[in-house]
Amino acid sequence: MKVRIAGIEKNSIVDGEGLRYTIFLQGCNHECKGCHNPETWDFNDGTEIDTNELLNNICEDSIIDGVTLSGGDPLFQADNLIEFAKQIKDKGLSIWIYTGFVFDEFLKYVNNEKADKRITNGMIELLKIADVVVDGPFKIERRSLNCTFRGSTNQRIIDTKKSFENNKIIEYTGE
């Protein structure tokens, strides 16, 4: 599978716990005012790369603790990231995903309730593979430099597995 990326940070300590291999996926339509990556919004920009190439690059770096999918919004390329994410998990690495979607909408979707029309089954499948999601749009009026792994206070760090299992938001505690 191929994905469109804006860039890679091979040794990030700000995009999740531990040393992270962060992939900035191309494409986003949340258009958050004050976004620190507005160059990632255009779905046709960036560079196309095969996920097997990404996996090989990640496997060469034996000191990382996990992979972070950021953006843009990686969920817009969820279908092309599912197998890649499974392979990352098979390597024993954690997966964090940053999204401008609000996680409550995913719970509504899986419960067949009225939810954000942009949500797809592929997004849900990718989220269920991930360990943690940092949700919500960046809000410039709630920006804070004191938010660990987040840009604004409305964003939450969510344990995806526990949240789907309990059908409610369970914030990640680092355990």
| pLDDT at 91 (0 to 100) | 93
Characterize 5-34 residue by residue with b for buried, 16 or more Cβ atoms within 10 angstroms of its Cβ, and e for exposed. bbeeeeebeebbbeebbbbbbbbbebebee
| Rounded Cα–Cα distance for residues 112 and 131 (Å) | 23
- What's the one-letter identity of residue 158? I
Output the pLDDT for position 174. 81
Topology annotation, domain 2-166:
TIM Barrel (3.20.20)
Question: Helix count (H) and strand count (E) of the chain?
Answer: 5, 7
Neighbours of 103 (CB within 10 A): 21
Full-model pTM: 0.94
Beta-bridge partner residues of 159: 132
Would you write out the chain's pLDDT as a tens digit for each of its 175 residues?
A: 999 999 999 999 999 999 999 999 999 998 888 878 888 899 999 999 999 999 999 988 678 999 999 999 999 999 999 999 999 999 999 999 999 999 999 999 999 999 999 999 999 999 999 999 999 998 889 898 888 899 888 999 999 999 999 999 999 988 6
Domain ranges of the chain: 2-166
